[in-house]
Structure formats: C-alpha cells, structure tokens
Structure 1
Amino acid sequence: MSKEILFEKMNNELNIVYRYLLSKGVPHTDAEDAVQEAAYRYLRYVDSIKSPNVRNWLIRVSINYYYDQCRKNKKYIFNFDEKINEEESSDLPEMILLAKERIDEFNKLLLRLKPLYAELLLLKYQSNLSYAEISKVLGMSNSTIKNNLFRARKKFMKLYEEAYYEKGK
C-alpha cells in the first residue's frame, strides 16, 4: 500500500473522530487538539497497537486526552451549541434567536436521555454515520445498534411531545 493511500485512509479516520468529538459537545479547538494528539500517538505507537479497529482506538485516545486536559485545566465545558449557518445570519435577529432556542430545547431533551441513547442519536443524525460505522465505534453488533437507536428515537419523541404539550397548555 502506498504512503498516499495510507495517509488518505488515516485522514478519513481522523475526520470521523473529529466529527464524533464535536457531536459529543467538545469545543472545536479542543477537538482539533485531541485528534492531533491521537494521530501523534498512533504514529508513535503504531507497532504496539493491538486493536483491530483503528477508529475505536483513535476515538478512545482522543476522548481520554480531552478528559485529561479538562482535569488539568479544571474546565468542564460541553458545548452543544450548533453553529448558526451563514445563510441564517442574514435573517432577522428574531429568526436567529428562535433557531438558538430550538437548539437549546433539543439539547435539553438529549440530556434527559440515557447517555447511550443520546450518543447513538448524535452519531447517527449529527455525524451521519452508518449503522456499521456506529457498531464499530461503540463495539456493538448492528442489531443492538438498530434496537437501541429505535428505542432512543421513541424515547426522544416521547420527551419532545411531553415538553411540547406542557408548553402549549
């Protein structure tokens, strides 16, 4: 395998890890740092890595690095804010505020779910990963992913309906 193909595959894996970290609420700069550290450690210890799935290893290393940095800096910031699109910035300020409120409501509902359910929803719908990719990342079978994702969607919709009808009354 040529070096170019190897670097391209590694870059794809690192992009997936980066998107995963962002979906977990890690700030942009911290996610970049964690992915860079994971890539460095991978290149440094590639001979001793026994994991058959490199992506799982990269995700674990980057998350551990991020948590270590949070502990060292004593900061615990999980920013679930979505970036406001440039198209929306030309809208009225009221529209931007409403979009921000919808995102906040969505994030509050996600926090009320089991961590696994929230993680599955973010991986599937925010990171746009397939069932196979999610099963590799989490180390679960495809059928388990599908079942838990079904339950996560069902629970999220129930929480959404409860919140929506409570506000409407």
Structure 2
Amino acid sequence: MDDTLMDQKLYDYLKIVKNYLMKMGASKEDAEDIVQDTAYKFILYIDSISHKNVEGWLFRVAVNGYYDLYRKRSRRQAIALKFNFQQLFEEFTPEDAVLQNERKQDVDDVLKKLKPKHQQLLILKYSVDLAIRDIAKLCEMKEDTVKTTLYRARKEFVQEYRRQGYE
C-alpha cells in the first residue's frame, strides 16, 4: 500500500511539473517527453535522492531538460537557416550541362556575326560585368556613347538571335 501511495505522489508531482513546463512554453508533447525522461532519471537515481527533496529535484531536472531541448532546437534552426534547401531540389543534371553548352554556343555564334565594336561592348558589359563608367574609360568613349552603342548592340543581337531561329 505504501508503494501505491508513493507512486500516486510521484504521478501528482510529475503532473504538476508537466503543467509548469507547458506554462514555460513547452508544447504538450515536449512537456510529456521531458516528464517521461525526468521520471526515468528519478527511477535511475532514486537511491541518491533525498525523500524530502523529491519535488524540487523533479522540477530542477525537468526544467534543465526543457532548457536543453530549447538549446538543441535553437542550434538546429540556426543550422537550417544557413543550409540552402533549394539546392537539394535544383540538381545540375547532365542534360542541363548539355543545354547550357548549346546555349553558350548559340550566343557565341550570334556574337560573331555582330560588328566588332558591338561584340566588344556586349562582352565587357555582360561577360566581364563591367560598369558603364569602366567600359567608357577602357574604350576611351563618353558614357552616353557607351550606353547608346550598348543599346544598339543589344538590339542587333536580339535581331540576329531571332533570325537564327534560336528563341
């Protein structure tokens, strides 16, 4: 009979601990898991726990378990934020590589048919990724002239690209 009374008291304490954890912010499932782990630790270390201090020990172990869970989740979330999940779904397949090479070849073919000055400006702007100001200095041109020539070069490129039937 004494064991059933002690079991009931332990059950009541654990119920209070569970409610306390839920008020701290733990979900019901997390609180139940922590309480279960706390009960397991209690059974494991029952010989070294003072009978006067059981309730305090249960609270301390459960709260520490909640803090540990919270820290683990924070670390996982930080790692998940750093990891780019989109890359898992965007595979670079051999077919993609072949298509990319074909597109590059198509662009090169069209570029070869443009005026040399247009080729040069398009390559500097879109392949080398230079700013208009840098292109103007490099080619010894005014910035407005570079902008106008780039506009004409893009227009000529698009016309030739369509003429070749690439689209």
TM-score, normalising length: structure 2: 0.44
Higher relative contact order (CA 8 A, sep 6+): 1
CA radius of gyration, larger in = 2
TM-score, normalised relative to structure 1: 0.43
Query: Which has the larger share of helix?
Result: 2
